[in-house]
Structure 1
Amino acid sequence: MEWKLTREPLASVATDAIIVFHSKERESTQGMAREIDEALGFRISSLITAGEITGKLGEVTQLHNWGKIPSGRVIVVGLGEGDQTDLHQFRHAIAAASRAAKQKGLKSLGIGCPSSIIDRYNAVDAVQAIVEGIELGTYEHQKYQSETKKRELKSVLISIPQLNEQAAQAGIERGQIFARATNFARYLSHEPANLLTPQQFVDHAKQVAEKRGLDMEVLDESRLADLGMQALLSVARGSEAGARMIVLSYRGAPESTEVLGLVGKGVTFDSGGLQLKPSPFMLDMKEDMAGAAAVLAAMDAIGELRPHSNVLAVIPVCENMVNGQAYRPGDVIRSFSGKTIEVAHTDAEGRIILADAISYAKRKGATRLVDVATLTGAVVVALGHEATGMMSNDEEWADEVKSAARIAGERMWELPMYKEYGIYVESEIADVKNEGGSPAGCIQGGLFLQAFAEETPWVHLDIAGSATAPRESGIFAKGATGVAVRTLIQLAVRFG
């Protein structure tokens, strides 16, 4: 998509459509919308008076130009409460408007930035939100139908009479990078499991490493065995596709010993193992590698942004399948850390492979950790699809991650890690067991992983709910969301 800046007012811009905003508490049009309204003979005001335009967040109304302005259409989008609208809501409103334009087959858009946003946020963040809203809102998942009608929004013109052009350009560049990375994670997460095997995920990682100049190491099954990574190897035993551990390294602050470690769960298909999932729950298990996709996509963006920080990504990839070699309930596995794991349930496999990955990230020098995983169905019960479940062993580090998420516009909710919950992962025959029944299921996963993070400041992000949108809404297409990508990028930028 091509992005341009202009100081021309929207009323003078010649595009297929222009986007203007209206808020719920306003009884009439304001700012740029007023100028357009006057040019259209107060048709927008008439619809507001009639109650057909309410200003509700994300409400979209399309009007023709009646030959009154150069642009072919006017799209009025609701901003909700207006003065209380934050950048998260602003993105969603813009996404709704741009998606409507794309669905009509429009190729070009003009848009400005409402004064209520400009007054409360800096120009870089405001323009970045515009770019992300449109790039994320118009994204479509890859389809494999013989005849697919492809509609594409090709260009956007941002009217910035009141903004610094240099700041606006910086916002465009950052918005494109953040959105492109998020859409890359969406693409990977949505790919069918037969087209994104562990080895094919490795191939994508190699492309990122070559493109961004990242150091890369791939541990194959022989090397994993030499290192004693029986946790990852055990989960992969039931599949013909071998396990791999991908390690990517970016050194933007070579003088520093601080290293941000990002770990992503990469189960490219999860059958549940011997304790098979019911068929309705297995259908979307191609997306059980959304954490790995988020980490790889974030590294792609980090390599492009080149922040002053050191970032290490460790991504274990495998399938959890069933054959005569598959690991069993009751097995005891020795992990890379030396800790032993009792397998209480074969469908709690993500935490098992993350155990080796977290320990290896520490061995490779990570001083602070964030793992991202579609870990538990319990987090969907607790938080639905709106927020990511978050757990941590370090309050200060948790606050840093929450701040990055707030800036990125991604919702996270911290769950308690009280010692009393530890009883669920205590084992009578091993150091820890991977599942302890239904109570506090999401927290159980966090406590299991904490045993391997140990004293290293660590945050666990359970994205099992937030990785998937059940319906089209705002910046989300139905399906994979690319959640956590923008938070991880923002964290790497702040880490320096």
Structure 2
Amino acid sequence: MEFIVKSGTPEKQRSSCIVAGVFESRKLSTVAHQIDAVSGGAISSILRRGDLEGKPGQSLLLHNIPNLPSERVLLIGCGKEKEFNENHYRDATAKAVSILKDTGATEATSYLTELDVKGRDISWKVRQAVEVTEAALYRFDQLKSKPDNSRRALRRVVLAVPKRSDLGPGERAIHEGQAIADGMKLARDLGNLPGNLCTPAYLADQATEIGKQYGLKITVLEKDDMQKLGMGALLSVARGSRQPPKLIVLEYDGGKEGEPPVALVGKGLTFDAGGISIKPAANMDEMKYDMCGGASVLGAVKAAAELKLPLNIVGIIPSSENLPDGDANKPGDIVTSMSGQTVEVLNTDAEGRLILSDALTYAERYKPAVVIDIATLTGACVIALGAHASGLLANNDQLAREILGAGKYTHDRAWQLPLWDEYQKQLDSNFADMANIGGREAGTITGACFLARYAKNFKWAHLDIAGTAWKTGKEKGATGRPVPLLVQFLINRARHDGAEAAA
């Protein structure tokens, strides 16, 4: 998809389709009003007939508007003007794309970017338009014998900006939006692949390809390497699988030599049947998405490299399968993690925290500035927050605020839960240093409490993306979240560090 920014009034745009907004009670946006004036009142005349009220979700496609060089005009309902916000803007953009891809138009000019969104500038609106458009056009059909190619694809979108001085910021916003969208596509593609194709070895191969493309250092630790390091927690999970485990490490050196890196640690369970504590059969196919944390790390590192961020980044992905087998973990088994701490495995389906514990310990050797782990860790997080926000827990308040701010800006939001010492008692074990579960109460928090025991020597945050990494039901599929949040966090870090250096 090609995106460009352009400044100019609609009567001068020669386009397959012009997109403009209409607010409730048939109130024309500024651009819609300009089209109406040029066409001799054609738009207002049509609206008076009751074809479009301007409510959210409404649309009206018009052809051959008088005195307009464009072939079509697409009017999008935006709701009440005073209530038009970030969410309405994203929904209006997505609605426009859904209509455009069914029209046969290969090019369109959107003036939705000129609508006023409180507190957001033109750069935000342009970047969101790119991300939302790419997400709306995404299809995963490469495994179908006959992909649907019945419609001509939308290949070019012009995003209008009010002033010529907005062209520079707009172009930078497109570059950022495209990098984030490409990172999300990578994460979605990996998540949507079935477990028989997307194995730990496949993830390692994908990381190697990214490394070749962007000149990253790639290290893949094999089973023997992990045994030498004492990664007993990770290896215990992999024992039930025929697929050998991998610990995948990507190093992006965009910052100063010796500068402490940001470490991103992503859970890479390519299929999770629960092990001996086997999951219910219904919807178990969705456990191919248990590697979405690892996929988001690959997507975020790829985007950071594409943007050439002046930052050092380490991506670490512990990857394995979790299956029932004669050699698999059994409830009551005790394993020794790389840190030397022992864990009583009371539930083999609480395996993500086991593989992450060794990865967090491994991350310590990079002397990181901060560490963020990303994992589809607990069903409890889905119950608590649904599909709208990722769960956030952290041992550092400033880091938590940075992550929350990045999520709010990108509309890839997180919500912070407490990480109080009182919850740690639920992990007490009579036979080991800790148990791997803490009971039914506060499952998301106790999962993070377990990880916190391996993150005492650095600033650390945990993102539980069990509710946000994929959609279920009719729209089943990976979402690519939280790639936008992670990339914005990295952008903010790079800008902040650069500002401090300049000062």
- TM (norm. structure 2) is 0.92
1:426: which partner in 2?
428
Counterpart in 2 of 1:391?
393
Residue aligning to 1:19: 19
Amino acid across the alignment from 2:124: D
**Unaligned residue ranges in structure 2 (runs of 5+):** 495-503
Give the aligned partner of residue 225 of structure 1: 227
Deviations 1:12-48 (A, max 9, x none): 3233322111233x65212111122345554543565
Once the two structures are superposed, what CA deviation does each residue of 1:407-426 show, in whole Å capped at 9, x if it has no partner?
22211111122222222222
Letter in 2 for 1:487: L
Please state if 1:133 is matched with 2:135. Answer: no
Which residue number corresponds to residue 359 of structure 2? 357
For residues 250-298 of structure 1, the C-alpha deviation after alignment (integer angstroms, 9 at most, x for no partner) is 1222255332110000000111111111111312111110100001110
CA deviation string 1:139-167 (max 9, x = no partner): 11234222221342111122334242212
Does 40-49 or 213-222 show the bigger shift? Answer: 40-49
1:398-446, CA deviations, whole angstroms, 9 ceiling, x for partnerless residues? 0011111112221111112222222222211111211122211111111
1:480 maps to 478
User: What corresponds to 1:448 in structure 2?
Assistant: 450
Pair 1:105-2:104 in alignment:
yes
For residues 492 and 88 of structure 1, the distance between their equivalents in structure 2, rounded to whole angstroms, comes to 23
Partner residue in 1 for 2:64: 65
**Residue 312 of structure 1: how far off its partner (Å):** 0.9
Query: What is the identity, as a one-letter code, of the residue corresponding to 1:16?
Result: S
Q: In structure 2, what is the Cα distance between the partners aligned to 1:50 and 1:338? A: 74
Deviates more, 1:307-316 or 1:139-148: 139-148
Name which structure has the greater RCO, CA cutoff 8 Å, separation 6+: 1
**2:109 is aligned with what amino acid?**
G
User: Contact conserved, 2:10 with 2:18, CA < 8 A, in 1?
Assistant: yes
Equivalent position of 2:371 in the other structure = 369
Mean Cα deviation higher: 399-408 or 37-46: 37-46
Q: Partner letter of residue 453 of structure 1? A: A
2:173 is matched with 171
Q: CA deviation at 1:65?
A: 3.0
- 1:182 equivalent in structure 2: 184
Corresponding residue to 1:409 among 384, 387, 411: 411
Rounded to whole Å, the distance in 1 between the matches of 2:59 and 2:258 is 49
TM-score (norm 1): 0.93
SS at match of 2:61: strand
Q: What CA deviation, in whole Å up to 9, does each residue of 1:211-255 have, x standing for no partner?
A: 111111110001011101111111011110000001111122225
Shift of 1:178: 1.1
| In 2: Cα distance, 1:114 partner to 1:296 partner | 30
Q: Identity of counterpart residues, as a percentage?
A: 37
Matched, 1:310 2:333: no
Structure 2: which amino acid aligns with 1:413?
A: W
- How do residues 323-342 of structure 1 correspond to structure 2 at under 5 angstroms? 323-342=325-344
**d(CA) in 2 for partners of 1:44 and 1:267?**
54
CA distance in 1, matches of 2:440, 2:49: 52
Of 77-86 and 391-400, the range deviating more from structure 2: 77-86
* C-alpha distance in structure 1 between counterparts of 2:330 and 2:102, whole Å: 49
Specify whether residues 169 and 114 from structure 1 end up closer, same or farther in structure 2 by C-alpha distance, changes over 3 A only: closer
CA-to-aligned-CA distance 1:151-194 (integer Å, 9 cap, x gap): 42111122334242212211111111111111111111111111
SS in 1 for 2:430: coil
Aligned to 1:78: 77
> Matches of 1:35 and 1:51 in 2, distance apart?
20
Residues 338/367 of structure 1: CA separation in 2 closer, same or farther (3 Å cut):
farther
Which blocks of at least 5 consecutive residues in structure 1 are unaligned?
none
Q: Distance in 2 between matches of 1:47 and 1:342?
A: 70
Shift of the 56–265 alpha-carbon distance from structure 1 to 2, 3 Å rule, reads farther
CA 1:120–1:10 in 2, change beyond 3 Å: closer, same or farther?
farther
- Secondary structure of residue in 2 paired with 1:284: helix
Note the C-alpha offset of 1:363: 2.0
C-alpha RMSD of the superposition: 2.1
- Return the alpha-carbon distance in structure 2 between the equivalents of residues 446 and 284 of structure 1: 23
Flag the 1:369–1:461 CA change in 2: closer, same or farther, 3 A: same
In 1: Cα distance, 2:119 partner to 2:64 partner: 31
Counterpart in 1 of 2:501?
Answer: none
